[in-house]
Amino acid sequence: MSGKAAKEIWSWVRSIILAFILAFLTSIFLIQPYKVEGHSMDPTLHDQERIMVSKLSHTFDYEPDYGDIVIIDSRVERKRSFTDDISENALYQLVSHQKQNSFLYVKRVIGKPGDVIELKNQKLYRNGELLKETYIKEPMVVMAEGKWTVPKDHIFVMGDNRNNSRDSREIGFVPIDHVLGKKVLGF
């Protein structure tokens, strides 16, 4: 092999490696695809639907808004680290042959720090005001009424399919650093 051919091959290899590194960093810090698993967000999002998630809220650690659809780490009892961000990355999982993380949930933000969330008479209230939720699948069948005050640096999330959703009613409040991104596009 000539020196010119070796330089050409190295140029291509270097370009491919650089492209992979840029894609990896982009998907950790800026935007990442995500596949919805399950029916907890019906009718807004459907099982196996693909969405694009902005990672900026996680990268810069800011609080999502009411109604935002977010990806959360449901393991709310444990601390997160940068290592989690790497190992949960779709590109990393593709290269390392890992399965998608079953502890990542897609939910809607219902309460922010200081809010009082209440379920009573089959309806949802935030700070004493009835929420008008046109996006939910069907009226809630509430087994037990409940009242929660969202602590500092946490949010309260629920799925749009309230009768088939594992959310803050079960897992508890979600620390802000467990909000991994916000849905920006579905396809």
Could you give the residue numbers annotated as active site? 40, 107
Asked if 31 and 54 touch (Cβ cutoff 8 Å), the reply is yes
Q: Which residues pair with 186 in a beta bridge?
A: 51
166 CB-near residues (< 8 Å, 6+ apart): 40, 74, 105, 159
Alpha helices per DSSP H over the chain: 3-29, 56-59, 82-87, 90-96, 168-171
User: What's the angle, vertex CA 91, arms to CA 90 and CA 95, rounded to 5?
Assistant: 115
Q: Can you read off the two tokens belonging to residue 158? A: 């629920």
CA max distance for the chain: 80
Which residue type occupies 99? Answer: K
